[in-house]
A and B are shown apart, each in its own frame.
Chain A
Amino acid sequence: MTDGVGVECRPDQVQAALRRAAVSVLETMFFVSLAGETEEPSEAAPEFGQPVRVEFQGGCQGAFTIRVSGSMSCSMAANFLAKDEQEVDEPEASQVVSEFANMVCGATLSVVAPHATLNLSYPCAGTGVVARGEVYRDALVCDCGRVQMQLEFWHNE
């Protein structure tokens, strides 16, 4: 239990909730499955696309950042929008990754901070913001690419 932040879970529960939310969103909305391999979350991986970042405030403050590898955004967009991969353009692919970030962030927070009324920002391209506060990282190896995620809770100064 973290005082004053609205998070009502132990760190291991937050970590598990993040994983569960990501897998559930990937399976339900994008038909993407885990590949069974594991990978350590790492900061620098050039083969990943632009990070997408959602900030939240209310009962707790923080940010969620997500990156997907190479062509995965295109596969996800094709699945989500029921198109062929060749029909997906760049803006569509990035809109779909943005909504992916929004859903994973929202679903995780409603589990770990169920009594906090939160406002999530519109997902935007995140640049090299250094993570601060309590930081949770996870990496997923999927059938069509890889996902790196980072959830941070900022404490009130």
Chain B
Amino acid sequence: MKPSVLIVDDSPAMRAFIRRVLELSGVVMSECYQAADGGEALAVLRRSPVDLVLTDINMPGINGEELVKLIHADEQLNSIPVVVVSTDATEQRVAALLRLGARGYVTKPFHPETLRADLEKVMEAADDRRCRG
């Protein structure tokens, strides 16, 4: 099954970069949605719950941390794996986001392969969950 993906980042350049990493990682996407902040992301998710969300933290309006919380608290959405891609590398922030429900964390700057490795791990775990579930 081809996954649908949502990329959330206030930088259009970063969204394009992440999209290219997904494509070059061999992730054949049925759909690749993009959103510039948490509010836009939630609007996309209400319309079409995707298979994977990649999100920045620092964004205007609803930021990435709140987005992770809201997805986690929503019964319709809380099975969607979320990977955070952010410049904030501090241990406490990473730990807090993982506690809030994020499944992966990639620190900017990053090599494409680092994101690919995280994606593979997260998608595999999601497949396992689906099989068991």
Contacts and interface: CB of A to CB of B under 8 A. Distances in A.
Interface string A93-107: 001101100110111
A25 interface: yes
A80 B21 CA distance: 11
A92 B86 contact: no
**Most chain B C-beta atoms within 10 Å of own C-beta, residue among A98, A103, A118, A119:** A103
B4 interface: no
A34 interface: no
Contacts of A115: 90, 92
B11 A107 contact: no
Interface size class of A (residues with CB under 8 A): 20 to 34
B13 A95 contact: yes
B91 A24 contact: no
Contacts of A77: 13
B13 A110 contact: no
Contacts of A106: 58, 86-88, 108
A23 to B, nearest CB: 10
Given A107-B87, A107-B89, A120 B14 contact: no
B111 interface: yes
B88 to A, nearest CB: 5
B87 A102 contact: yes
Interface in B37-76: 58, 60, 63
Contacts of B121: none
B60 A99 contact: no
Nearest to B10: A122
A50 B63 CA distance: 27
Interface in B71-116: 86-93, 108-111
Contacts of A133: none
A28 B92 contact: no
Nearest to A99: B11
B13 A81 contact: yes
A98 B110 CA distance: 17
A122 B11 CA distance: 9
Given A25-B109, A110-B87, A117-B93, A102 B58 contact: yes
Contacts of B88: 106, 110, 118
Contacts of A120: 58, 87
A114 interface: yes
30 contacts: A25-B109, A28-B109, A28-B110, A28-B111, A29-B108, A29-B109, A77-B13, A81-B13, A82-B20, A92-B13, A95-B12, A96-B13, A98-B11, A99-B13, A102-B11, A102-B87, A103-B87, A105-B87, A106-B87, A106-B108, A107-B89, A110-B87, A111-B89, A114-B90, A114-B91, A114-B92, A115-B90, A118-B88, A119-B63, A120-B58
